[in-house]
Amino acid sequence: MPDFDVVVIGAGSAGSVAASVLSTQTNVSVCLIEAGPDYGPFEAGRWPSEILDPRLRPRTHDWGFVDSRAKVVGGCSAHNQCAAVWGLPEDYDLWGGAGNLGWSYKEISKLIQEIERCSVDSLTEWRGKDGWLPTRHYRDEELASWQLAFLESTVSMGYSRIADLSAPQPGEGVMPFHANVYKSTRWNAAFAFLDRARGRRNLTVLPNTLAEKLLFEHKNARTLVCQSGSDTLEIRARQFVICAGAYSSPGILMRSGIGPRTELERLGIRIQRDLLGVGKNLQDHSVVSVEFELSEHGLRALEQDVVEGSFHESQVILRARSVHCKGPFDLHLAPYQTTADSGEYVSAVLACDMVPQSRGSIHLSGTDAELPPSIDFGFLTDPLHQDASVLIDGLRLIHRLAESGPLATMIESRTPRPDAMKPGESYSYVESHVDGYAHPVGTCRMGQLSDSLAVVDSGGLVRGTSNVYVADASIIPTIPRANTNLTCMLIGLKIAKELSIRLLRS
């Protein structure tokens, strides 16, 4: 392999943006590494239909972890429900207030303009309008029957329709969410950012290439060791930007000798830098759901959606408050329909804790890069049991919604019935059914030197190194009250822009 100025590891939501930004400098050579396949630019017409269809979550191109993660150029933006939601200003201000310079909402809001290109009919002051990722909110006439019934039932209960789920006020309210859907296509990060860079002679994309570890000389990483089929590649570079996500970025660091001493010694990995926080601070929005058996009316509506092609798994979100809420909202409720492995349709409403207090961790299963990480979500482990209480409130709200408006006419029965549960039974149900919202963050957290769990500084530079950066969801110190995909793109943009300036000066 030739030497490069920069190697970007991971072509997902953050990595696609980072590689595109870094390659704008024609004198900087960039190599983008991706463990999954690359089907080329969108216009080439080689992308699988399940990746393009925004109505359904693909069952292919998955890493096979306990949580769904996409293994393909475009990353999870090629897999997700296309919900294009920004965190609240106070979410980002919390990062800045913890000493992470440049991360307050006022400072990052100009980057939102570079990421998003919201349609005129869906534009609010909280959206970007000059960027590369097209977004718009779903219109009522586009909603699947289950989605529309949920929307109308929340309104019948007194919730207001709001203009933007990214707006800080009003706290509670419901709307069809903004989505990165363009021309009926899930417009992933590769289409929005990488495709415009593919023709640059200074950009090399290496798909089906698994990053194993970095080799160091003192504080400088010199070489990235990768596996491509049966071949081992050693790629040298001046700078390395890890964008492998909250599950895989800490694994790359640990295999490189950067992580908690006890864990590295257990696996016989030579310690390059003892960093306690690598793999710690894992956060996700915890979720429980209520599943429903549909009435004859509900079944007919579902069948008609499928025949007409209007079926969507997810299109609407309600922001709500539990009794513990101290801010604008702490719950997302989302109607959801999908197909089970048996082929039967499942109809549910999800309750999602958007301000989780619990923390989990990531550990290596071994030194082989092909081994999946050991993921301990840590759901419901907060000492005051606030997360469980928030989810129980969410279950109760789902029960009330199921008896209101059009939703009630679509339902025959439900599991569980929160109204019939005793307090201990409610907790037991939540404990045995809790899952994640597929928004993992925090495992290489950003922070000051005084923060014992900080892995990177505010510029993404890994502590104790001079040329290794992390730029993805793993650096998020506290999870925002939003789907995290847009924030990942923003992180890739911000860190790449700052690194690009340093390269220009060097």
71-128: per-residue pLDDT in tens?
999 999 999 999 999 999 999 999 999 999 999 999 999 999 999 999 999 999 999 9
User: What confidence score (pLDDT) does residue 484 get?
Assistant: 98
Least confident of 253-262, 366-375, 396-405, 439-448: 396-405
Nearest to 345 by CA among 154, 150, 145, 178: 145
Of 68, 96, 13, nearest to 478 (Cα)?
A: 96
φ, ψ for residue 466, nearest 5 deg: -115, -10
Start-to-end Cα distance in the chain = 23
CA distances from residue 351 to 293, 398, 400, 404 in whole angstroms, order as listed: 18, 8, 13, 17
Dihedral sign from CA coordinates of 406, 409, 415, 418: positive
Fold of 139-176+286-355+380-433: Cholesterol Oxidase; domain 2 (3.30.410)
Per-residue confidence at 413, pLDDT binned at 50, 70, 90?
confident
Closest CA to 33 of 268, 333, 233, 191: 233
d(CA 441, CA 488) in angstroms, rounded, equals 10
Would you say how long the chain is, in residues?
A: 506
User: How much of the chain, in percent, has pLDDT values that exceed 70?
Assistant: 98
> Pseudo-torsion of CA 60, 360, 470, 254, nearest 10°?
-90
Residue labelled with tokens 């920069």: 6
For the residues 479-505, what does the mean pLDDT come to?
97
- CATH number of the structural domain 4-84+186-245+440-505: 3.50.50.60
Give yes or no for a contact between 103 and 95, defined as CB atoms under 8 angstroms apart.
Answer: yes
| Mean pLDDT over each residue of the chain, to the nearest integer | 96
Contacts of residue 264, defined as CB under 8 A and 6 or more positions apart, other chains included, come to: 254, 257, 270, 271, 274
DSSP readout, 277-294? Answer: TTT--BB--EEEEEEEEE
pLDDT of residue 426: 87
pLDDT at res. 419: 60
By the 10 Å C-beta count (0-12 exposed, 13-18 middle, 19+ buried), 184 is classed as: exposed
Confidence of residue 417 (pLDDT cuts 50, 70, 90): low
* Ranges of each domain in the chain: 4-84+186-245+440-505, 139-176+286-355+380-433
Residues of the chain with pLDDT > 90: what percent? 94
Question: Cα–Cα distance between 219 and 304 in angstroms, integer?
Answer: 61
Half-sphere exposure of 370 (CA within 13 A, CB side): 6
Q: Which of 76, 91, 4, 70 has the alpha carbon at shortest distance from 485?
A: 76
Categorize the per-residue pLDDT at 420 as very low, low, confident or very high, splitting at 50, 70 and 90: low
pLDDT, one tens digit per residue, over 188-222 is 999 999 999 999 999 999 999 999 999 999 899 99
Q: How confident is the model at residue 418 (pLDDT cuts 50, 70, 90)?
A: low
Cis peptide before 176 (omega within 30 of 0): no
Do residues 88 and 75 make contact, with C-beta atoms less than 8 angstroms apart? no
Pairing of strands 173-176, 316-320: antiparallel
Please give the model's pTM, rounded to 2 decimal places: 0.97
Name the DSSP letter for residue 475: G
Give the lowest-confidence range in 49-53, 91-95, 202-206, 411-415: 411-415
Phi and psi dihedrals of 59, rounded to 5? -105, 5
- Which residue is listed with tokens 């080689």? 46
User: Could you tell me where the beta strands, DSSP code E, fall in 229-384?
Assistant: 231-242, 258-259, 273-274, 286-294, 316-320, 331-339, 345-353, 361-363, 374-376
Total Cβ atoms within 10 A of residue 411: 20
pLDDT in tens, 258-308: 999 999 999 999 999 999 999 999 999 999 999 999 999 999 999 999 999
Amino acid of residue 452: S
Query: Is the pLDDT reported for residue 443 higher than 90?
Result: yes
